[in-house]
Amino acid sequence: MKPSNTRKRIHVACVWAAITCLMMSCASLAWAHTLPIERSLMMTIHQDRLEVLMIYTEPPGIRTERILAMYDLDRNGRLTGKELAIASPDIAERAFNGVKIEVNGVVPTANQPELSCKREQDKGLSCALYVDLPLPSGSPETVEVRLIKKSGILPLPMQASASEGFVLEAQALETTPVAPNAVVTLHPGQFWRAKVVSESHLAKPAPLK
């Protein structure tokens, strides 16, 4: 069963809360330096689908102003309602530029992301893009994210988590093993691969006597 819209909104809201705390703690650095474009990809692995949340942040400057000039139709400095619907394909293309996701060697069919954007205090723009990817037949065993090498492409910090009876058993950045709970940073041409195992397949520890 697919998650309800309410659950999706709660999911995105929780992530926004965490991001807001992080931004507040880094406020002094943000004002002292020009911030780069940033992307952060988080995934939750389920039996029948992969939940993907991409956080895409444009720093204050000409690119942010250009996005608002194109899509902020009422000129109130925000993107809401119909404006988000119009802006969604363009922002999604920017956010997922060069990102290729595979589950068991197959690329899931992606729907148009659910989009939420907010203007930051420093006049930058942050957007959360939520995608629910139905998985091909069979339980997920491997998940791979590849960052296709393109000119001007962005680094991609990424965190993966598992739920509904699955655990992230091992992960690697290309051929280098990485701790299962580590956050990796992908660069153009690199890929991240994780092995997923069902909790029902894990050995149960003997009870204490």
Give the tokens for residue 209. Answer: 């006597």
Q: How far apart are CA 120 and CA 104, in angstroms?
A: 38
End-to-end CA distance of the chain: 41
Query: What is the pLDDT of the chain when averaged over all its residues?
Result: 80
CB of 71 closer than 8 Å to CB of 113: no
Query: What residue type is assigned to position 34 of the chain?
Result: T
pLDDT tens digits for 35-57?
578 899 999 998 888 999 999 99
Weakest mean pLDDT among 8-17, 94-103, 168-177: 8-17
- Mean pLDDT value of segment 20-45: 60
pLDDT over threshold 60, residue 161: yes
Q: How far apart are CA 103 and CA 111, in angstroms?
A: 16
Q: Which residue has the higher pLDDT, 9 or 134?
A: 134
pLDDT over threshold 50, residue 22: no
Contacts with 82 (C-beta within 8 Å, 6 or more apart), sequence order: 73
